[in-house]
Amino acid sequence: MAAHRRILTRSAAKIRQMLSTLFKKRTCNTPVPKTCYVCLEESSRVDLVRTCPSHFICRDCVPAALQNQIPLSCHSAYRIPPERFRGEVDKTLIKKYEEKLEGNDIPVRLRVYCASPRCSKLLARHTHRHTQQVHFAKCDCGKKTCLTCKSLLGKVNGHICVSDTDANGRPIWLPQYTSTFRAKPCPNCRIVIEHMEWCNRIICPHCDHSWCFVCLRPEARTTGDYGLHDCPLQGDPECDYDEEGYEKSPRGIHRDTGLPRPTNTVMADSHDPPEVGVIDGGDRP
């Protein structure tokens, strides 16, 4: 029994020594692999770029990430500075990313694109020029775009803006509004949205603006306050619209602007409650 005990003791000591040696080699010579947040593959730190204290990206994924992710971020609360990748990718790619980043920071409703059909590039703020006659932007393709009417400029001097909308802001190319073709521009970014069914509280897929499709006023996403501004949950108002596009109702708002007739005294502003209790300038009761 004593002999067996000595053998087991020596074996256990050898095992501990082997494990200690392996652990020491692991910690001293072999770096712990990290995971790329893009491709989720494990790599050694030599092949990775640190994007923040907690995340890494492998060098093979950097070019595609700079081209496809605007802004580049390894988590929602952090924007990776492009300087982090200088020396890792071509300088031209960094410059293009910085231009896209500048354009991304422009509010959606203020973005202007090159009017040349062959280009259509987003015109960053540094391309904007202002003269006494016209406000325009010069694209890298050489074309100039009017910042007011968004049309191509031939000569800066003598340009006359041509509107592509009617007096109510509806694009002239858009077919007439009907019960079978309910389409309006988003009041925030002006992209045209067709909305045929379901709830009249909608969220623009382009700018994420939440609004009522009937009166165009902004809407909270979680409150059900349709009764407060007399709009139906679905479809157009039962009173319908007249030939000019105004509701046949006491509030008489226009379907494309959400505003009442200029002569309508029932509601001075479609977004504010009407004044009550005042008759011919008299005092309130």
Residue 64 lies in a domain: yes
Confidence tier at 19 by pLDDT (50, 70, 90): low
Confidence tier at 12 by pLDDT (50, 70, 90): low
Residue 271 lies in a domain: no
Query: Are 115 and 85 part of one and the same domain?
Result: no
What does the block give as tokens for 84? 């982090």
Which residues, at least 6 apart from 103, have a Cβ–Cβ distance to it below 8 Å? 111, 122, 123, 124
Residue 85 lies in a domain: yes
Average pLDDT, the chain: 77
Residue 80 lies in a domain: yes
Picking from 129, 153, 177, the residue at the C-terminal end of a domain is: 153
Residue 283 lies in a domain: no
Confidence tier at 183 by pLDDT (50, 70, 90): very high
Choice between 5 and 59, residue whose per-residue pLDDT is larger: 59
Picking from 123, 138, 153, the residue at the C-terminal end of a domain is: 153
Query: Are 89 and 113 part of one and the same domain?
Result: no
Q: In terms of Cα–Cα distance, which of 214, 138, 210 is closest to 182?
A: 214
How far does the chain reach from its first CA to its final CA, in angstroms?
Answer: 111
Query: How big is the chain by its Cα radius of gyration, in Å?
Result: 32
The span from the CA of 260 to the CA of 246, in Å, is: 8
Confidence tier at 265 by pLDDT (50, 70, 90): very low
Q: Which CATH number do you get for residue 100?
A: 3.30.40
Q: Is the pTM of this model over 0.85?
A: no
What does the block give as tokens for 245? 């596009």
Domain count of the fold of the chain: 2
Residue 58 lies in a domain: yes
| pLDDT computed for residue 278 by the predictor | 33
Residue 211 lies in a domain: no
Residue 280 has pLDDT above 50, yes or no: no
What does the block give as tokens for 147? 């910042």
Confidence tier at 6 by pLDDT (50, 70, 90): low
Residue 221 has pLDDT above 70, yes or no: no
Picking from 81, 104, 127, the residue at the C-terminal end of a domain is: 104
Query: Are 96 and 37 part of one and the same domain?
Result: yes
The whole domain housing 131 covers 108-153
| pLDDT computed for residue 88 by the predictor | 83
Residue 276 has pLDDT above 60, yes or no: no
DSSP code at position 42: E
Residue 19 lies in a domain: no
In the chain, what percentage of residues exceed pLDDT 70? Answer: 76
Residues 37-64, mean pLDDT to the nearest whole number: 84
**Which amino acid is located at 283 in the chain?**
D
